[in-house]
């Protein structure tokens, strides 16, 4: 449904998007993840035809966004980073205008505006001015605007920004409900959102695609070793780290915190070998207090950090190439 090939965008000498390629299948939700300034918004702006790319190709629903922009744009619903609202128009008038310029026929227009307001839960502010709305409502009017003409492709730049937790959940449900009939690309900086909403994730950093995979596979792939978190109450002076380091299968012990006699450590073991039992036995036989012992799993957040910070990125296993993922 969306095919992006070797997209590059340069501003003067600065390369904002560097040879980005990925694919989104029909009905799929793709998450776009990356630190600020990674090129997420720029990529989305290119996909929606707001700005041209320096080189590369983007095909939306079979139409090249550069060669057939009008046809491609007809099939896209786009929510920019800041909802593009006319502050002096009422919500209904605004949506009617958006419907008109998106080519919704005048017969279907009112019904479709009502449906979109219903779906985005903004029907209660239909007659209020956009400029008088709270951040949460603005965001949802922006969403209503994007889904109004029932587009095949939805491109949402941080759709949950500025919403309260309840609204975030509702919006996620709405987006999930739209998948299947719509193909969705959304960007976010909230990582759990990606894990909960998206089927596949593109991690983008410094304009380059760092990884493309499912959230679960990404988490798994990045873990080169098994890590245990352990907190021990040992008399001061004892070298707990060295003792744990002596357990077979343990590769590295990193002290985390020390509060009086309480000391906690991150214990790395070989991949696939869980050494919790051995560590527990050691602590008990030494007559120390075992305060806490749990597997420490890399969250998506840490995966993200690993993939987007220079020092660890090279140590991480080579990311699946976008072409292979597609």
Partner 1 sequence: MSNILAVANKELRSYFGSPIAYAVLGFFAFAFDFMFWVFLRGFIEQSARMGGQMGMGMQPVNINQMMVRPLVMQISVIVLFMLPMVTMRTYSEEKRSGTIELLLTAPLTDLEIILGKFLGALGLYAAMLAVTLPCMLMLFAYGNPDWQPVATSYLGLFLLGASFIAIGLFISSTTQNQIVAGVLTFVLLLMLLLAAWLRDFVTGPWALNVLSAFAIFEHLDDFTKGVVDTKHVAYYLSLITFGLFLTARSVDGERWRG
Query: What residues numbered 101-140 form the site for partner 1, per CB under 8 A?
Result: 101-103
Taking the complex as a whole, how short is the minimal distance between the CB of residue 50 and partner 1, in angstroms?
A: 5
Contact (Cβ atoms closer than 8 angstroms) between residue 29 and residue 184:
yes
Q: What does each C-alpha distance from 25 to 70, 154, 167, 326 come to in angstroms?
A: 22, 12, 28, 9
Please give the helix or strand (H or E) that residue 302 lies within, else none. helix 300-308
**Candidate ranges 26-34, 72-80, 162-170, 295-303; the one touching partner 1 (CB under 8 A):** 72-80
**Candidate ranges 97-105, 165-173, 182-190, 250-258; the one touching partner 1 (CB under 8 A):** 97-105
Taking the complex as a whole, how short is the minimal distance between the CB of residue 89 and partner 1, in angstroms?
A: 6
Based on the shown chain and the rule CB under 8 A, indicate whether residue 321 belongs to the binding site for partner 1: no
Bridge partners (DSSP) of residue 231 are: 264, 292
Query: What residues numbered 13-42 form the site for partner 1, per CB under 8 A?
Result: 42
Query: Residue from 6, 26, 37, 86 that binds partner 1 (CB under 8 A)?
Result: 86
Based on the shown chain and the rule CB under 8 A, indicate whether residue 76 belongs to the binding site for partner 1: yes
Contact (Cβ atoms closer than 8 angstroms) between residue 182 and residue 143:
no
Q: CA nearest 159: which of 177, 181, 179, 174?
A: 174
DSSP 130: G
Count other C-beta atoms under 10 Å from residue 18's C-beta. Answer: 17
Query: Residue from 25, 67, 88, 173 that binds partner 1 (CB under 8 A)?
Result: 88
Query: What residues numbered 233-252 form the site for partner 1, per CB under 8 A?
Result: none
Bridge partners (DSSP) of residue 289 are: 233
What's the CA gap between 303 and 264, in Å, rounded? 22
Q: Which residues bind partner 1 (CB under 8 A)?
A: 9, 11, 42, 45, 48-52, 69-71, 73-74, 76, 78, 80-82, 84-89, 93, 97-98, 100-103, 145
């Amino acid at each position: 449904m969306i095919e992006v090939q070797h997209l590059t965008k340069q501003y003067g000498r600065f390369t904002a998007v560097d040879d980005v390629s990925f694919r989104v299948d029909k009905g799929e939700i793709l998450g776009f993840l990356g630190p600020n300034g990674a090129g997420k918004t720029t990529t989305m702006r290119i996909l929606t035809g707001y700005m041209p790319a320096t080189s590369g190709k983007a095909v939306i629903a079979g139409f090249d966004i550069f060669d057939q922009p009008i046809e491609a744009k007809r099939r896209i619903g786009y929510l920019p980073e800041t909802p593009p609202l006319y502050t002096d128009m009422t919500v209904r008038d605004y949506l009617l205008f958006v419907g008109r310029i998106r080519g919704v026929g005048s017969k279907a227009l009112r019904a479709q505006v009502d449906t979109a307001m219903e779906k985005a839960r903004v029907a209660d502010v239909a007659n209020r001015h956009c400029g008088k709305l709270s951040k949460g409502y603005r965001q949802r009017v922006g969403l209503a605007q994007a889904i109004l003409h029932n587009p095949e492709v939805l491109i949402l730049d941080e759709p949950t920004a500025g919403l309260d937790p309840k609204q975030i959940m509702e919006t996620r449900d709405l987006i999930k409900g739209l998948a299947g009939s719509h193909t969705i690309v959304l960007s976010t900086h909230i990582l759990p959102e990606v894990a909960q909403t998206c089927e596949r994730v593109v991690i983008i950093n410094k304009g380059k695609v760092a990884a493309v995979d499912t959230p679960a596979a990404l988490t798994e792939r990045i873990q080169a070793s098994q890590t245990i978190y352990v907190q021990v109450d040992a008399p001061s002076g004892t070298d707990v780290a060295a003792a744990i380091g002596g357990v077979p299968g343990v590769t590295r012990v990193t002290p985390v915190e020390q509060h009086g006699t309480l000391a906690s450590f991150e214990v790395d073991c070989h991949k696939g070998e869980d050494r919790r039992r051995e560590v527990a036995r050691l602590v008990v036989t030494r007559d120390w207090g075992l305060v806490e012992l749990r597997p420490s799993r890399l969250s998506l957040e840490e995966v993200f950090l690993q993939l987007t910070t220079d020092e660890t990125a090279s140590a991480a296993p080579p990311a699946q190439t976008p072409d292979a993922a597609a």
